[in-house]
Amino acid sequence: MSTSTLNTSANVPAVAWQRLREVPLLPAVAAAVVLFFVVAALAPHLLTSRDPFAIDLPNALQAPSLAHPFGTDQSGRDLYTRVVYGTRESLLIGLGATGLSMAIAVVLGVVSGLGGKIFDGLINRSLEVLFAFPVLLLAMLFVTVYGPSVTTQIVAVGLGTAPGYARMIRGQVLAVKNSGYVEAAHALGHSRWTVLRQHVFPNAMRPLVAVVTLGIGQSIVWASGLAFLGLGVAPPSPEWGALLDAGRMFITRAWWLEVMPGLAIVAIALAATVLGHHLQKKLEGARS
Amino acid sequence: MTATLEHTAITGTLRQELLKVRNLNVSFSTGRGRDARLTHVVKDVDLRLAAGECLAIVGESGSGKSVTARTLVGLPGANASVQAERLELAGHRIGTLGERQWRRLRGKDIGFVLQDALVSLDPLRPVGKEIEEALRLHGWGTTRSRAARAVELLASVGVPQPELRAGQRPDELSGGLRQRALIASAIALDPKILIADEPTTALDVTVQAQILELLGRMKERGTGIVLISHDLSVVATLADHVAVMQGGAIVEQGPARQVLYHPQHDYTRALLDAIPSEHTKGTPLSKDGRARITATSRRPRTTRPADAPVLRAEGLVKSYQGHDGVVRTVVDGVSFELRAGETLGIVGESGSGKSTTAKMALAMLEPDAGRVLLDGAAWTGISTAARRSRRRSVTVVYQDPLSSFDPRWNAERILLDALARQDYPGEAERAAQVRELAGQVGLQVEHLAKHPLQLSGGQRQRLAIARALAPEPEVIVLDEAVSALDVSVQAQVLDLLTDLQQELGLSYLFISHDLGVIHHMSDRVLVMKDGRAVEQGSAEDVFNHPRHPYTRELLASLPQLGLAPGQRNPPAAAGTPTTEGAHS
């Protein structure tokens, strides 16, 4: 007779995010953004015909217009061109710092996870000491001692972010080491090394794929933070953090000096993150 | 209306209809856009239940029984669409209720008990507070009277030392106590109807018996119980009516005695036949009978005099130091002999040390004292390297096959990995052997390309068995290997194991908490309690003439259909379906 319907709605933001992620458009846009920045890093002249260092004082501090889409800085240099040319150093810092921090983290994490009580205890306590300091503080300390350059920025951010990753990898290694399939492999009579090579390493490193892409964006943000504090690559380099630092003085008069390089940082970090999520889903989806 | 309902529920003189369901349909929408699909999981289900009765919904996983139960408490799940011609519960039309109205009803008129008490209880809240919360939400009593009522409720569900237990958190309680605490909170407000989804599945038999007795007492007091279970013997002790579900539809429904002892539908019959017990020994449990096994003895098996022990454990002891510094002896002086071609069943409840014993038999764990001998030579107490060459003589099948497979590997890769390199030098030979193994355990060639996650529970366990067979072992340790399977799948796997044993002359160390399975499979039985072997002997002796009081208690706790297949004509109740109280 009377037909009734029960509708159950789950938590709204979660559902919205789920839907957003299911749109294949988002990874496509992210890929396009990443591609743009890769081109900018490798061949910036393809994306702009201007010179990032060409001073044009009469046109200083122009608001964004058709001629200067991102506006101009205090010396009349085209900000868009500078952002494009700054990509190489910024990406280098992002990739380098992530690579370095991953390398440190993998070594520490694996040794900690497999090395038994003594190594695990030692590494864990040291990591806890490092955790006590904010990433930025560690990085600042390093740059202050060794002077600002691209290399020190990479090392500073890499060292600063490594403890977090090391902890994560240690957890992964421990989880895999105690998993049923590792026990099963031992029961089949495989040697310790075979088990490590066949099961522990590949499974423990699996989640890293996503973390790395997330880490790249994060590292760029950290490096920009350092540059903003005057501990980055020195001007007139168009590295994004340096641009932010330089624009700080004019923030009340020329908002675009802060907003435009900021947008570039947000764009690459977001795009890398979205791609990372997508990649992770693809990798895991293939198996389920 | 409510007043009269309560009245009749209490006196029980007039059997009030508590549950009226007609044409219930539940479907789930999955996917989005082009992938959108509607899965119909409950189809045209009709159910009725009167006060003081128990309706059991029986079926295997995927039959829709849990979704039916959850729909009855207004929690069908995300993306569910529920349609029903009639949906009345304890006098309320529940089809049109909103979430707020549901909250008022749930706990008050409708109690709900889930299978896993650990996830249903707040881990940070003492169980007494949990019960008080249920009372408070429905405005019952004062803070003080609620606390007293919580203790009273815990006592009423058979929790010893209820004052002490009320102040403890779920992780401080055993599984049985947790489940009782959950039931106590479900019945706190004396609901007219209690919906219990596999309330005893995770519990040991002796605890299960207590819970069933408790539910029986509630039924006598006039509570209507909807019991969801896959276990027909549990159902037999409690249910007045049984509905058998398959593929979302009820295939058979009627008075319990009729359904359980004179099943009309083939599926019900198959379900009943699949239950392993003392009567099924030596007979195939699954309908398709024996799987044809092509045993190709490539390697001559070690010939030994009949009855020679393959695996021998002498006085095994293992203890662990807990976080509180107290040393607990998990296995205490266990000895056994596993003879060639035989099955030794180790039975015991959780925490009895049977899995630890299995690990020592596998030499995955060194005993603190005692030793294990394999073919007369030391198997424990030697270096890992010295053991490696003989590792392949003893293999293992775990309860949860999924976690024992590397998630990156497909079935073929898993089996290839388990093959002994030296026996199959060529790639083609190895591939052929993998196919043969798959054939032996009844897996199709197309299953080989799949990842374990894409296989069904039964297929996964077959894959695990194939992997255990790959090294051509003499002994397979089966650690609760069929416990997670549906009864019909369990029947097939048990039949497969029996056939493999006969064809290949394997010895099984069969560990299970399920007495029926142990009885069905074992030649000899070892009963464990608190780390000790309390009784050991031939299966016949142990089950028919138990000497140790604990064995007797175990056997008495076992809910039984009590009849052998083909003998389903209980003389006492031939054709007189009655709704009697649960005095059993």
Domain harbouring A266, CATH code: 1.10.3720.10
In DSSP notation, B181-197 reads: HHHHHHTTT--SEEEEE
The mean predicted confidence, pLDDT, of chain B is 82
Cβ contacts (< 8 Å) between A183 and chain B: which residues? Answer: 364, 404
Cβ contacts (< 8 Å) between B403 and chain A: which residues? Answer: 179-181
> Is B470 in contact with B441 (CB distance < 8 Å)?
no
- The confidence band for B533, taking pLDDT boundaries of 50, 70 and 90, is very high
- φ, ψ of residue B243 to 5 degrees: the values are -120, 125
- The confidence band for A272, taking pLDDT boundaries of 50, 70 and 90, is confident
Residue A212 domain-assigned (yes or no): yes
Taking residues B117-142, what's their average pLDDT? 83
Residue A137 domain-assigned (yes or no): yes
Q: pLDDT: is A248 or B445 the higher one?
A: B445
Kindly state the helix (H) or strand (E) to which residue B111 belongs, with its residue range.
Answer: strand B110-113
Domains of chain B: 2-109+191-273 (3.40.50.300), 118-190 (no CATH), 309-557 (3.40.50.300)
Encode pLDDT of B459-493 as tens digits: 899 999 999 999 889 999 999 888 878 888 888 88
Handedness of CA A65, A69, A75, A77 (dihedral sign): negative
Q: Which of A41, A151, A51 lies closest to A87 in space, CA to CA?
A: A41
From start to end of B157-240, where are the E strands? 193-197, 224-229
Q: Which of A1, A192, A287 sits opposite B451 (nearest CB)?
A: A287
Locate B258 and state its tokens: 């009729």
| Closest CA–CA distance from residue A192 to any residue of chain B (Å) | 10
Pair type for strands B54-58 and B224-229: parallel
Q: pLDDT: is B255 or B279 the higher one?
A: B255
**Is the confidence at residue B42, as pLDDT, over 50?**
yes
Beta bridge partners of B226: B55, B195
**CA atoms within a 13 Å half-sphere pointing along the CA-CB vector of B272:** 26
Residue count of chain B: 584
Residues 6+ apart with CB under 8 A from A66: none
Q: Give the domain extent around A265.
A: 28-48+79-285
A3/B81 Cβ within 8 A: no
> Is B54 in contact with B240 (CB distance < 8 Å)?
yes
A178 touches B at CB < 8 Å: no
Instruction: Give the type of residue at B529.
Output: K
Cβ contacts (< 8 Å) between A202 and chain B: which residues? Answer: 408
Taking residues B177-181, what's their average pLDDT? 84
Residue B561: its pLDDT value, please? 67
CA pair distance B168, B171, nearest whole angstrom:
8
Taking residues B335-343, what's their average pLDDT? 92
Instruction: Give the type of residue at A27.
Output: P
A·B CB contacts under 8 A? 94
Residue A288: its pLDDT value, please? 42
Q: What is the ipTM of this complex?
A: 0.72
Residue A216 domain-assigned (yes or no): yes
Encode pLDDT of B387-436 as tens digits: 888 888 999 998 888 889 998 899 999 999 998 777 777 888 889 999 99
Residue A241 domain-assigned (yes or no): yes
Encode pLDDT of B437-463 as tens digits: 998 888 888 889 988 888 888 889 999
Taking residues A173-200, what's their average pLDDT? 89
Encode pLDDT of B187-225 as tens digits: 888 888 999 988 887 778 888 888 888 889 889 988 999
A188/B391 Cβ within 8 A: yes
Encode pLDDT of A70-100 as tens digits: 888 888 889 999 999 989 988 888 889 999 9
**B residues 392-411 closer than 8 Å to A (CB):** 392, 395-396, 398, 400, 403-408
- The confidence band for A130, taking pLDDT boundaries of 50, 70 and 90, is confident
Residues 6+ apart with CB under 8 A from B529: B348, B349, B352, B550
- The confidence band for B178, taking pLDDT boundaries of 50, 70 and 90, is confident
| Closest CA–CA distance from residue B82 to any residue of chain A (Å) | 5
CA pair distance A177, A202, nearest whole angstrom:
12
Q: Which of A27, A173, A197 lies closest to A112 in space, CA to CA?
A: A173
Residue A20: its pLDDT value, please? 60
> Is B357 in contact with B538 (CB distance < 8 Å)?
no
- Judging by beta carbons within 10 Å of its beta carbon (0-12, 13-18, 19+), is residue A3 exposed, middle or buried? exposed
**Is the confidence at residue B157, as pLDDT, over 90?**
no
A4 touches B at CB < 8 Å: yes
Taking only Cα atoms into account, the Rg of chain A, rounded to an integer number of angstroms, comes to 23
Range from A66-80, A269-283, B122-136, B224-238 carrying the lowest mean pLDDT:
A269-283
Encode pLDDT of A212-234 as tens digits: 877 877 887 788 788 778 787 77
> Is B285 in contact with B273 (CB distance < 8 Å)?
yes
- The confidence band for B306, taking pLDDT boundaries of 50, 70 and 90, is low
- The confidence band for B284, taking pLDDT boundaries of 50, 70 and 90, is confident
Share of chain A above pLDDT 70, in %: 90
> Is B521 in contact with B510 (CB distance < 8 Å)?
yes
Torsion of Cα atoms, B1 then B4 then B9 then B15, to 10°: -90
**Is the confidence at residue B580, as pLDDT, over 70?**
no
Q: Which of A179, A203, A288 sits opposite B408 (nearest CB)?
A: A203
**Is the confidence at residue A160, as pLDDT, over 50?**
yes
B82/A3 Cβ within 8 A: no
Residue A14 domain-assigned (yes or no): no
CA pair distance B539, A71, nearest whole angstrom:
89
CA pair distance B538, A191, nearest whole angstrom:
38
Residue A273: its pLDDT value, please? 80
CA pair distance B468, B393, nearest whole angstrom:
10
User: Rounded to a whole number, what is the distance in angstroms from the first to the last CA of chain A?
Assistant: 42
Range from A58-62, A280-284, B87-91 carrying the lowest mean pLDDT:
A280-284
CA pair distance B301, B323, nearest whole angstrom:
46
Locate A101 and state its tokens: 């921090």
Residue A152 domain-assigned (yes or no): yes
Count of structural domains within chain A:
1
Beta bridge partners of B317: B332, B369
**Is the confidence at residue B271, as pLDDT, over 90?**
no
CA pair distance A100, A162, nearest whole angstrom:
8
Residue A283: its pLDDT value, please? 67
